[in-house]
Structure 1
């Protein structure tokens, strides 16, 4: 049976998208190649026609997932006028909706701690996208007329999300989201006085 001209690239895209979502939902190390390939209707043996190793997939899936997240966040803030962008972004990022859907949320908040234990090549790709996230926050700060360290904002938001997801107590989880929002709002308030 002959496949369509773009079948291989479409299959690779399906593998990367499915892996990215499942890595965020379940964790990188818990997702096996056989179950991942079964999710898209293929056998584990077919994986190696697309990737030389699981690590190559981890690097690409995390890189791709974070690039998509950054593009979505950039698009989201553009719906808000300058002066309100950072606040709107923080409200959306530090929401129960984002907390409760890690498979469709930020790779940093879902897999950052795991990436720290990956090989240098994977960490380098991740760091590249993390720098893009920090740069986006820098742009938003500038557009909003705010002066703050963009890495501090990223740290406050992602750290709060990680902690909110790590507990099963809904009140404590909500308090982590709220503390992240207060940190961002304090940055905004400091600039308005």
Structure 2
């Protein structure tokens, strides 16, 4: 999986190098409009390097490299995949190591625009979130939301397109405590920016 990550990083870097080389090699391209043309050629690479949900809101990592059409990050042999929706996020954790991994949902955090909250499983149950064991070479999927958004039987939205158009963006941070094998649990923090299309 590390090779795929390097390839996905290398493609935009190579495209940027080619575009910069073409731009500064002005003796071949003496027209005045060539810079605008080069930006338009490079724009599709920039515009698709984020995830788009069902309501056409853009979600992207703010601290990790973004891949076209998906929110996925690999660290220490664990693949984290996020599928955001306005009221709950599906998180898939795939363990590619040869040791069991543990995730303690009860100690996890869901932070929306700086307001910290615990993590609750969705649809909401009154039980505490479990500690999941992800066996080697297997994966689990959980749908979660911020516990402070649960009001009785109703769950408020993490973000809405109307608020995004007014305020511009929503910051979402998810902290997941993961332990691999006999190692103590370590918090993996994922920072996201949500904007309207």
In the superposition, the TM-score normalised over structure 1's length comes to 0.22
The structure carrying a bigger strand percent of its residues is 2
The structure carrying a bigger helix percent of its residues is 1
User: Larger radius of gyration, structure 1 or 2?
Assistant: 2
Structure having greater relative contact order (Cα 8 Å, sep ≥ 6): 1
In the superposition, the TM-score normalised over structure 2's length comes to 0.22
